[in-house]
Amino acid sequence: MHEYSLAQALLSGLQEHLRQHPIPGRVAKVHVRKGELLSLSEWALKEAWRILTEGTELSGSELVLESVPVRVRCPSCGYEGEARYLTEEGWHIAVPVLSCPRCRGPVEITEGRDLAIVGLSIEERL
């Protein structure tokens, strides 16, 4: 529901980066990692990007989203890796459970809450 404000934050950050590190060409694709725990609609994020970039140097660039699965760390048994998922019928989406898949203890989230630009695809100007 807050796709526009986050798309704006991504855009401002990228514009600032491009001011400091100019590139010879047009940005065709902007690669973004999106943590699975975030309640963000991919469709709305892409639409927000399309509208917000109009009239900027990033106009026409495509936002490419990669969903980052939840990873957890267990302070009691030392497990580090993917979370367990609840996939029963009736939930419709696989829900990550923040509990250790090995010892069932409480865990810390190490990945899955991120929203970051991690790469650009550049079209060289001829």
Partner 1 sequence: MHDITGSFGDVLQRQLELASQNFALLKQHGVRAVNVMGAIGSGKTELILRMAEKLRERGLRVGAIAGDVAGDDDYQRFRAAGLPALQINTGDQCHLDAHQVGHALEEFPLGEVDVLFIENVGNLVCPADFPLGADVDLVVISVTEGDDMVRKHPKMFAQTDVVAINKVDLAAFVGVDPERIAADYRKVNPHGRVVFTAAKSGRGVEELLSALGF
What residues make contact with partner 1 under the rule CB under 8 A? 1-2, 5-6, 9-10, 13-14, 17, 23, 28, 31, 35, 37-40, 86, 88, 90-91, 93, 95-99, 104, 106, 113-124
Q: Which amino acid is at 115?
A: L
Q: How far is the CB of 43 from partner 1 (least distance, A)?
A: 15
Contact 84, 99 (CB under 8 A): yes
5 vs 56, beta carbon nearer partner 1: 5
Question: 54 or 113: whose CB is closer to partner 1?
Answer: 113
Tell me the pairing of strands 62-68 and 26-35.
Answer: parallel
Query: Quick one: 47 or 114, whose CB is closer to partner 1?
Result: 114
- Torsion region of 46: left, alpha or beta (phi above 0 gives left; psi -120 to 50 gives alpha): alpha
Handedness of CA 33, 34, 36, 42 (dihedral sign): negative
Task: State the minimum distance, in angstroms, from the CB of residue 33 to partner 1.
Answer: 8
The distance of closest approach from Cβ of residue 82 to partner 1 in the complex, given in angstroms and rounded to an integer, is 15
- For residue 74, the minimal CB distance to partner 1 (Å) is 12
- Residue 50 or 121: the one with the smaller Cβ distance to partner 1 is 121
77 vs 107: CA distance, rounded Å? 10
Phi, psi (deg, nearest 5) at residue 14: -70, -40
